[in-house]
Amino acid sequence: MRVLAAMSGGVDSAVAAARAAEAGHDVTGIHLALSRNPASYRSGARGCCTIEDSNDARRAADVIGIPFYVWDLSERFHEDVVEDFMDEYAAGRTPNPCLRCNEKIKFAAVLDRALGLGFDAVATGHYAQLRTGPDGLVEMHRAIDHGKDQSYVLGVLDQEQLRHSMFPLGGSTKADVRREAAERGLLVADKPDSHDICFVADGDNAGWLREKLGDRAPNHGGTIVDESGEVLGEHAGTYGFTIGQRKGLRIGRPAADGKPRFVLDIEPVSGTVTVGPRERLAVRRLRGIRPRWCGTVPERLEGTVQLRAHGEELPARVSVGESVDIELLEPAYGVAPGQAAVVYDGTRVVGSATIEATA
Amino acid sequence: MTHPDAGPTAYLDHAATTPMVPAAVEAMRDHLLAVGNASSLHASGRRARRVVEESRETIAQALDCRPGEVVFTSGGTEADNLALKGMFWSRRGEDPRRTRILTTAIEHHAVLDPLHWLVEADDARAELLPVDDRALLDVEALRASVERDPDSVALISVMWANNEVGTLQPIDEVVAIAAEHGIPVHTDAVQAVGHVPVDFAACGVDALTLTGHKLGGPYGVGALVVRREVSVSPLVHGGGQERDIRSGTLDTPAIAGFAAAVELAVKQRAEEAARIAALRDDLVRRVIEVVPDAHLHGAAPEHRLPGNAHLGFPGCEGDSLLMLLDARGIECSTGSACSAGVPQPSHVLLAMGCTDEAARHSLRFTLGHTSTQADVDAVVAAIGPVVERARAARR
């Protein structure tokens, strides 16, 4: 097969490309330039968007022995991921830009262009497993390394996208991948993992949003109140908050009961952030919109859902109609609208939906 | 699998760099193992100095300048920087009113970037003069700009031939306008020397940039030819080896290779230019036969570099075309310049009035001394399916 390997400059995508090449595929490496003005060097825990990362990817391609190019996806990325990220925060929701990037960039813009250019598949360094199910459809399963499993951020891929995807690392542990990278002479073998959102420097979401949102922000300040409406403090913009957030509330006085307070609700129009005790965060029902199904659309399902990257699996009953209605068999805490609920049947990813409302 | 070391079947990127000619390789090899700093006083030093000075004389003869006017540098970028900054500082030092630098919107970044730096870090004012849709300088705009306040012009810098679309610039007219007001002229002739006639004494410019690796010599060596009467402030201090304008131990083997390449390129120029232009014309004609909506950017063949074919392919991404051709062993470049690792539409094409879109669907094929009919045939055979694929990738 002719395979396009997306290479971020990190260890995972380098080993994924090497394995695809070793398996006998005709592999071409590409690095996605996602920023119009990339920084020269990595800072903090970022790991894919600097010139240094692009050079790391290029050197890995040299070592593997495959051609390498940089594709400029910065415009699409800005429109489809960064703008969406800002809109969602401005609306008081908490988006996951990595899912959005997989859905709109890596397995859409890049995959479409690759197929047009005569490639058969896009390979990435994501930790997830693909296999053909009894019905002939491609199934996506969790990676064997549960600590690294990234099936959550791939839960937006449909059957057509999965049919042209390749995840060579799903059957390995991260430790094995690092060891293999060293054995292959890839200089990125010891490169630290990236954790934060790639376009937000130093993981400072609120600071980034404060700088970038400008007039788009519904407010640049408001009050923090308790459930009775009593004002406890002030804040510099609702976009700095996420449902379930405990740290950084800067409320001077402790609650009457002495227990910690959490963000319960964000009202972007009035600029009001409501806080309260943890038990008020308990959620039993979720309504999801914009569903994405990996294969056949289920009507009803008893399985599990995962509500954030590396979050726990929660047993749930899922029914699909106009919206995706999820009943959690045990409560979840700190569920933020805008995040994705990914539905699993055992280790298999069934699909995902964006959380619109909780109860 | 496509191996990067499989070797190209058709190298059509000679404007980026062209292979060394055997005469240059031999000239370099003769000196690589010989010891001797050209500034040393003993026999080995004198031997090295002799090689440098003979090389300087060879280059002077080829370009019709005096040997003492050849200042060796590390290449075209350094020579352009030296001309822009060195002449600006020197001219403004003589008269503080001289803060304007006039140049074209289509210069190489080796001219534009030092210019922008002078604007930001010093008190220079830059004027980037417009070009027409063939990338030809608007001489009347230059005249108007000079005459608005001639005393404030520190220097004029106009490239001899554009590196992207190959358009030859009206250097004689530029020199005539400058001469009326005693303003020095620099020209970046990196793409021109060895490809079109360049006569330093006759053309009347005050400083001229050339580089080794664009004409069959080694990388990392070039020269700024500067008239002896022109004062240039140095950029690199420490030893003053080159007329006190440029310091650094002279790279004897590279200079020897550079001189051998200049000599050969200039000697063979007329017949090589005719041969290469015929191949280029054949390439353009047959590519347009295969892809009827493809079109040539820039000037008519007689007003451009003989090896330059800059073509637009509507509906395609240049990046896709390049990649697909590369996979077939055909090497060229796109209408984009890599800026900070991200391809940006070329400032040259934008200055010519191309849209962003048109700039993105362009390819530059540049032929040189190793180009053959087989190279052209390979492009013609590949271009149809490649354009079709690239269009599919856009849908």
Distance (Å, whole) CA A238 – CA A205: 12
Q: Is A198 labeled as catalytic in the residue annotation?
A: yes
What does the alpha-carbon distance between residue A208 and residue B111 come to, in Å, rounded to a whole number? 36
pLDDT-derived band at B341, boundaries 50, 70, 90: low
pLDDT digits (tens, 9 = 90+) for A259-299: 889 999 999 889 999 999 999 999 999 999 999 999 999 98
Residue A303 lies in a domain: no
ipTM for the whole complex: 0.85
The pLDDT tens digits for A319-333 are 999 999 999 999 999
Predicted confidence at residue A37, as pLDDT, reads 67
Residue B305, SS3?
coil
- The neighbour count for residue B57, using CB atoms within 10 Å, is 14
- What are the tokens at A309? 């990257």
Q: Which residue range forms the structural domain that includes residue A60?
A: 2-125+168-202
pTM of this prediction exceeds 0.95 = no
d(CA A325, CA A205): 30
Report which of residues A182 and A246 the model is more confident about: A182
B319–A62 CB contact, under 8 Å: no
Minimum Cα–Cα distance from A28: chain B residue: B2
A65 to B3: CB separation less than 8 angstroms, yes or no:
yes
Q: At what angle do helices B269-290 and B373-394 cross, to 10 degrees?
A: 40
Contact residues on chain A for B394, CB-CB shorter than 8 A: 113, 116
How far, in Å, CA of B296 to CA of B2, rounded? 30
- Of residues B216 and B4, the one with the higher pLDDT is B216
- Domain end point (choices A253, A280, A307): A280
In a domain, A195, yes or no: yes
End-to-end CA distance of chain B: 27
Choose the weakest-confidence range: A72-76, A185-189, A215-219, B153-157.
Answer: A215-219
Which residue in the list A48, A98, A198, A294 is annotated as catalytic? Answer: A198
Mark whether B298 and B221 lie in a shared domain: no
Residues from chain A contacting residue B1 (CB–CB below 8 Å)? 21, 25-27, 65-66
Using the beta-carbon criterion (under 8 Å), do A33 and B342 form an inter-chain contact?
A: yes
pLDDT digits (tens, 9 = 90+) for B351-394: 999 998 888 899 999 999 999 999 999 999 999 999 999 999 88
Provide mean pLDDT across the span B331-335. 89
Q: For residue B323, which residues of chain A lie inside 8 Å, CB to CB?
A: 28, 67, 69, 117
pLDDT tens digit string along A193-245? 877 788 887 778 888 888 888 888 888 889 999 999 999 999 988 988 899 99
- In chain B, pLDDT over 70 holds for what percent of residues? 96
Average pLDDT, chain B: 95
Residue B155 and residue A121: Cα distance in Å, rounded?
55
What gap in Å lies between CA B341 and CA A32, rounded to an integer? 10
pLDDT of residue B1: 40
Task: Tell me how close the Cα of B68 comes to any Cα of chain A, in angstroms.
Answer: 41
Cβ contact A35–B342 (<8 Å):
yes
My answer on whether A20 and A100 are in the same domain is yes
Tally of domains within chain B: 2
Of A26, A33, A117, which has the smallest distance from its Cβ to B341's Cβ? A33
Residues from chain B that touch A51, judged by Cβ atoms under 8 A, are 340-341
Residues B205 and B285 grouped into a single domain: no
In this complex, do B342 and A74 lie within 8 Å of one another by their Cβ atoms? Answer: yes
Determine the Cα–Cα distance for residues B336 and A320; give it in Å rounded to an integer.
48
To the nearest whole number, what is the mean pLDDT of chain A?
Answer: 91
CB within 8 Å: A36 and B342 = yes
Q: For residue A40, what pLDDT is reported?
A: 56
Q: What is the pLDDT of residue A213?
A: 85
Does residue A275 sit in the same domain as residue A174?
no
A164-201 tens-digit pLDDT = 999 999 999 999 999 999 999 999 998 888 777 888 87
Task: Give the mean pLDDT of B292-307.
Answer: 96
| Residue closest to A55 by CA, chosen among A73, A33, A36, A75 | A33
CA nearest to B254, candidates B70, B30, B82: B30
Q: Under an 8 Å CB criterion, which residues of A touch B?
A: 21, 25-28, 33, 35-38, 40, 51, 54, 62, 65-67, 69-72, 74, 112-118
Say yes or no: A267 and A173 in one domain: no
Q: A229 and A107 in one domain?
A: no
Instruction: Look at residue A305 and tell me whether its pLDDT is greater than 70.
Output: yes
**Are residues B188 and B160 in contact, defined by beta-carbon separation less than 8 angstroms?**
yes
- Is residue B7 situated within a structural domain? no
Residue B138: its pLDDT value, please?
98
Residue B3: its pLDDT value, please? 42
Active site residues per annotation of B: 338
One domain, residues B172 and B100: yes
Q: Dump pLDDT digits (tens) for B249-270.
A: 999 999 999 999 999 999 999 9
Task: Report CB contact under 8 Å: B2, A37.
Answer: no
pLDDT at A258: 82
Mean pLDDT of B80-104: 98
Give the mean pLDDT of A71-84. 91
Q: Do B314 and B257 belong together in one domain?
A: no
Instruction: Let me know if residue B178 belongs to a domain.
Output: yes
Question: In this complex, how many residue pairs, one in chain A and one in chain B, have their CB atoms less than 8 Å apart?
Answer: 68
B6, part of any domain: no
Distance from CA of A2 to the nearest CA of B (A): 9
Q: Are residues B134 and B249 in the same domain?
A: yes
In this predicted structure, what is the pLDDT of residue A42? 53
**Cα–Cα–Cα angle for A153, A154, A160, nearest 5°?**
160
DSSP conformational letter for B334:
E
Return residues 338-367 of B near A (CB < 8 Å). Answer: 338, 340-343
Q: Which residues of B touch A63 (CB under 8 A)?
A: none
The pLDDT, as a whole number, for residue A197 is 83
CB contact under 8 A, A62 and B323: no
Q: Write down which residue in B250, B267, B284 finishes a domain.
A: B267
Lookup: tokens for B295? 């079109």
Q: Measured between alpha carbons, how far is residue A132 from residues A137, A163, A338, B281, B294 in Å?
A: 6, 9, 31, 54, 44
Q: Domain ends where: A265, A280, A295?
A: A280
Report yes or no on B2 lying in a domain. no
Cβ neighbour number for residue A2 with a 10 Å cutoff: 16
Summarised one tens digit per residue, pLDDT across range B273-291 is: 999 999 999 999 999 999 9
Mutate one of B1, B356, B395 to test the A interface: name it (highest A CB count within 10 A).
B1
User: In sequence order, what are the residues at sequence separation of 6 or more whose Cβ sits closer than 8 angstroms to the Cβ of residue A238?
Assistant: A92, A218, A219, A222, A266, A267, A268, A271, A272, A273
CA dist., res. A106 & res. A153, Å (int): 12
Disruptive mutation site among A4, A72, A76 for chain B (greatest number of B CBs within 10 Å): A72
The answer to whether residue B15 is domain-embedded is: no
- Closest Cβ opposite residue A65 in set B4, B319, B320: B4
Please indicate, yes or no, if residue B91 is contained in any of the structural domains: yes
- Do B293 and B251 fall into the same domain? no
Q: Which of residues 173-212 of B touch A (CB under 8 A)?
A: none
Q: Is the pLDDT of residue A346 over 50?
A: yes
HSE-CB of B144 using CA atoms within 13 angstroms = 9
Identify the CATH number of the domain in which residue A20 sits.
3.40.50.620
- Select from B247, B267, B287 the last residue of a domain: B267
What's the domain range around B368?
A: 269-394
CATH of the domain at B390: 3.90.1150.10
Q: Kindly indicate the confidence band of residue B4, based on its pLDDT and cuts at 50, 70 and 90.
A: very low
User: Chain B: nearest CA to A72, how far in angstroms?
Assistant: 6
Phi-psi region of B360 (alpha: psi -120 to 50; beta: other; left: phi over 0): alpha
Q: Indicate whether B189 belongs to any domain.
A: yes
* Residues A237 and A270 occupy one common structural domain: yes
Q: Please state the three-class secondary structure of chain A as a single string.
A: CEEEEECCCCHHHHHHHHHHHHCCCEEEEEEEECCCCCCCCCCCCCCCCCHHHHHHHHHHHHHHCCCEEEEECHHHHHHHHHHHHHHHHHCCCCCCHHHHHHHHHHHHHHHHHHHHCCCCEEECCCCEEEEECCCCCEEEEECCCCCCCCHHHHCCCCHHHHHCEECCCCCCCHHHHHHHHHHCCCHHHHCCCCCCCCCCHHHCHHHHHHHHHHHHCCCCCEEEECCCCCEEEEECCHHHCCCCCCCCCCCCCCCCCCCCCEEEEEECCCCEEEEECHHHHCEEEEEEEEEEECCCCCCEEEEEEECCCCCCEEEEEEEECCCEEEEEEEEECCCCCCCEEEEEECCEEEEEEEEEEEC
Total domains present in chain A: 2
pLDDT-based confidence at residue A48 (cuts at 50, 70, 90): low
